């Protein structure tokens, strides 16, 4: 069922909105608002206090096998039902094997129980499940947009922090915990505290070899891993306008790595074209009705943000991380930083710990770092455009003898398309493993795990200690940069290879 801004029972009916009285309602109407304010105002059932807490209506949620079990158990124990099961979509993506041949057997008993319990819960509570063998299966933040399940104007909550991805479509997505999942399933609402607003303006033309991954990594490096804590980010500017929808998803996906609990981009004609033929998107007269409302989804000209940040895309270089946090990053042509040159004691100690874990010495060129693994996958960078970028780099080349290269598409649909376009053949000829879709080595919850001391060039979103396996070392970068590292066996400036996005 189509359920977007024009049809939500809370939208466009001011009596349902959580404004305290007619005077307050009139004031809000007269005040220029940000896109974030418009989403929250239109979904507020009632105000709960004067500290910004509201009861927020949630349009849709995506459920996975990893974060939902306790929520369903809570519903069962309390004898509650799911209030609107048609607004939820469930998928298996975290623990499933990604072996080249698709199998339904889980790698261990715990994973098997999680998958079986999700199937049981979806059956008993009437929720649609895309299980491991479904042709629509994939990583939740890949399959939800490609199915048209996410539409402009919606508010989405899910048990995964990278739900911010959906901001690329003009929706507002944020991650929630298990107890909140239970509350949402039972009531279609959440207790929510309004965020402050941060506008990030990105202007300028990206140079050859640069991608949206470099944009967001540069921003995180500039403002820090907690630089957007307490904020919802709205991205704007000529650079953002020029990006494809998939590239925009990468930016919104990783906004959470700067501490943001939400990220936005105003929907435009690219978004509307992207959604046009998606299976669950509105069609015909309903689409025309939706488009009229979707085109209004932007911040008012006079809207005031709590904070502003500027980024000049023309000055960026390909980025890689050197440490154990996404903000510990630098251009590929730089050297490993020296903590001795940092005056802040806490920051200096954190850098030393990161360098010890990563086995790096201050001052060494980043391009001298030798890798053992190259991984292209995750909800950040495993869409068809990411695979096309990587294929352009590796065409006619070979993965270095000492490197294990893995390609894990973000969904079965992406995998099928890549095979139809000949991309899979390019990867296989180059020596990459061509695998099934899933979260895989992004967080090492299945059998795709690095050993202690392994060093991986990765297109994922987090490089925390042990993220890809206990004692493993992760360097984040774009898919094209991962492909370049796989070929050369070390972190490499893609611009030196001659083939790049």
Going along the chain from its start, the domains and CATH numbers come out as 320-496 (3.30.499.10)
Q: Kindly tell me if the per-residue pLDDT of 3 is higher than 60.
A: no
Averaged pLDDT, 387-404: 98
pLDDT interval class at 444 (50, 70, 90): confident
Placement of tokens 């970068």 in the chain = 477
Averaged pLDDT, 413-429: 98
Averaged pLDDT, 144-162: 97
**CA distance linking residue 103 with residue 437, whole number of Å:** 11
**pLDDT in the model for residue 5:** 31
Instruction: Report residue 135: phi and psi, to 5°.
Output: -65, -15
Q: Kindly tell me if the per-residue pLDDT of 291 is higher than 70.
A: yes
pLDDT in tens, 229-282: 999 999 999 999 999 999 999 999 999 999 999 999 999 999 999 999 999 999
Q: How many residues does the chain have?
A: 501
Q: Kindly tell me if the per-residue pLDDT of 499 is higher than 70.
A: no
pLDDT in tens, 162-206: 999 999 999 999 999 999 999 999 999 999 999 999 999 999 999
Give the residue, 182 or 8, on which the prediction is more confident: 182
**CA distance linking residue 30 with residue 162, whole number of Å:** 34
**pLDDT in the model for residue 82:** 98
Instruction: Report residue 363: phi and psi, to 5°.
Output: 95, -15
Q: Kindly tell me if the per-residue pLDDT of 29 is higher than 50.
A: no
**pLDDT in the model for residue 107:** 84
**CA distance linking residue 434 with residue 419, whole number of Å:** 10
Residue pair 204/238 in contact by the 8 Å Cβ criterion: yes
**pLDDT in the model for residue 500:** 66
pLDDT in tens, 104-145: 889 889 999 999 999 999 999 999 999 999 999 999 999 999
Provide the percentage of residues in the chain whose pLDDT is more than 70: 93
pLDDT in tens, 348-378: 999 999 999 999 999 999 999 999 999 999 9
The H or E element spanning position 215 is helix 212-223
**pLDDT in the model for residue 27:** 54
pLDDT in tens, 455-487: 999 999 999 999 999 999 999 999 999 999 999
Instruction: Decide: pTM greater than 0.75.
Output: yes
Strand-pair partners of 473: 455
């Amino acid at each position: 069922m189509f359920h977007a801004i024009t049809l939500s029972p809370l939208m466009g009916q001011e009596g349902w909105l959580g404004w305290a009285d007619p005077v307050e309602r009139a004031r809000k109407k007269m005040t220029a608002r940000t896109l974030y304010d418009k989403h929250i105002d239109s979904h507020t059932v009632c105000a709960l206090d004067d500290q910004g807490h509201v009861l927020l209506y949630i349009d849709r949620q995506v459920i996975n096998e990893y974060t939902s079990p306790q929520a369903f158990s809570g519903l069962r124990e309390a004898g509650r039902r799911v209030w609107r099961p048609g607004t939820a979509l469930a998928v298996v993506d975290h623990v499933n094997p990604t072996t080249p041949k698709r199998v339904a057997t889980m790698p261990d008993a715990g994973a098997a129980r999680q998958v079986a319990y999700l199937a049981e819960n979806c059956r008993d509570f009437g929720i649609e499940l895309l299980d491991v063998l479904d042709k629509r299966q994939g990583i939740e933040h890949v399959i939800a947009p490609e199915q048209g399940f996410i539409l402009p104007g919606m508010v989405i909550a899910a048990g995964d922090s990278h739900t911010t991805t959906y901001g690329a479509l003009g929706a507002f997505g944020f991650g929630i915990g298990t107890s909140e999942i239970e509350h949402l399933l039972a009531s279609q609402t959440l207790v929510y505290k309004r965020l402050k607003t941060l506008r990030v303006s990105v202007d300028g033309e990206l140079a050859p070899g640069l991608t949206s991954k470099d944009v967001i990594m540069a921003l995180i490096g500039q403002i820090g891993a907690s630089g957007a804590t307490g904020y919802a980010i709205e991205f704007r500017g000529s650079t953002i306008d020029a990006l494809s929808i998939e590239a925009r998803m990468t930016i919104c996906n990783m906004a959470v790595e700067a501490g943001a609990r939400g990220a936005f981009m105003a929907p435009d004609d690219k978004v509307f074209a992207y959604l046009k033929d998606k299976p669950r998107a509105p069609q015909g007269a309903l689409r025309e009705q939706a488009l009229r409302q979707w085109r209004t989804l932007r911040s008012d000209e006079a809207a005031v943000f709590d904070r502003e940040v500027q980024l000049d895309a023309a000055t960026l270089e390909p980025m890689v991380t050197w440490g154990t946090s996404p903000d510990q990053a630098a251009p590929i042509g730089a050297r490993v930083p020296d903590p001795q040159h940092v005056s802040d004691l806490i920051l200096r100690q954190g850098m030393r710990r990161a360098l010890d874990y990563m086995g790096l010495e201050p001052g060494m060129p980043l391009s001298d770092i030798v890798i053992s693994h190259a991984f292209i996958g995750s909800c950040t960078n495993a869409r068809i455009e990411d695979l096309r970028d990587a294929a352009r780099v590796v065409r006619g080349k070979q993965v270095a003898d000492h490197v294990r290269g893995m390609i894990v598409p973000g969904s079965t649909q992406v995998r099928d398309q890549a095979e139809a376009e000949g991309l899979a053949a390019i990867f296989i000829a180059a020596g990459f493993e061509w695998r099934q879709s899933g979260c895989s080595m992004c967080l090492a919850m299945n059998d795709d795990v690095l050993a202690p001391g392994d060093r991986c060039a990765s297109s994922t979103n987090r490089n925390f200690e042990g993220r890809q396996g206990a004692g493993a070392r992760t360097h984040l970068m774009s898919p094209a940069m991962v492909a370049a590292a796989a070929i050369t066996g070390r972190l490499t400036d893609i611009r030196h290879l001659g083939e790049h996005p």
